[in-house]
Amino acid sequence: MAVFEGTEPEFNRYIGPRVRNVVQLMTKSAKRAAGGACAHCGRTGVELEAAHVHGRERTAIIHELLVPYRVGGMYRVDLGSFERRLRAAHEPIEKTFLFLCPDCHRAYDREGRALSEDGRPSRPAAGPVKLPAAAPGDLGLAPGESNKAYVSRVFSRLYDSGRIPESELRRLSERSRMAEEYRLRTFGFSRPLFVRSDEERFDENSHPRYYADSVCDGIHLCSQWYFTGTNASYNLDKFQAWARRMLSSPGEAAPESC
């Protein structure tokens, strides 16, 4: 697990370049979809630039995302979970960026909004972007929802919103004795909660133990879920309890010794 420890200015100084690279990759396809026309003046034939809407600048987003990682006067940041939350915070792209020609971009940054040639204000800057829900608020099984759909939905939302730190992902997937003991205490079984390859989906008797459909970066979740009372080792109550613990502290799981 890569961890940053330091102040917010230090985070912007040392991690900021990585943030810029991530954002640039996210905006590439959206710029192409803009058809090469500046969102303000309509100019074509120039390389468009991605401008954060006012109030949603890169440093402002970083400032918001760092709040849960504050420890005293410093920050301790799980960089893997931070990057997932960073990506989520920029969605949808079209409400976070304006794709402008260089001249309009400079005017937008200088004046707080792009200006037309005669100095009259153009359309106002896009309003504040509401961050997507970081994690499922309702951890209950919806009427008619299958175990597969439920587990996939909850895990995906937790993962995509950065609520599962890298250290927890290792405990869920590694085959070490300590990780197996952790899963036995947490879920009632020692097998990994997920695997990342199709070959690993099957046990030693060639029985599938993980869903064929993958979620979240090729993750195949364990498929052996039952309601409490049917099988005490594999039940959704324990999964729900684990999910609530992930919700207790964004990006940093509540302590659970291995």
Contacts of 124 by beta carbon, 8 Å cutoff, 6+ apart: 113
Overall pTM surpassing 0.85 (yes/no): no
Q: Report pLDDT for 167.
A: 87
Tokens of 160: 């995509």
Under DSSP, the state recorded for 195 is E
Under DSSP, the state recorded for 128 is P
Q: In one letter, which amino acid is 94?
A: E
Q: Report pLDDT for 23.
A: 86
Taking residues 35-64, report their average pLDDT.
82
Q: What is the pLDDT of residues 162-200, one digit of tens each?
A: 788 888 999 999 999 999 999 999 998 899 999 988 889
Tokens of 252: 């940093």
Taking residues 37-50, report their average pLDDT.
81
Task: Return mean pLDDT, the chain.
Answer: 79
Taking residues 72-94, report their average pLDDT.
89
* Size of the chain, expressed as the number of residues it contains: 258
- DSSP-derived 3-state class of residue 226: strand
User: Please, which pLDDT band fits residue 220 given cuts at 50, 70 and 90?
Assistant: very high
* Sign of torsion over alpha carbons 170, 172, 173, 179: positive
Task: Find tokens 């970081």 and name the residue.
Answer: 134
Q: What is the pLDDT of residues 107-137, one digit of tens each?
A: 777 765 333 333 333 333 333 333 333 344 5
- Contacts of 112-119 with C-beta under 8 Å, sequence gap 24+, read 112/54, 113/54, 114/40, 114/41, 116/40, 116/41
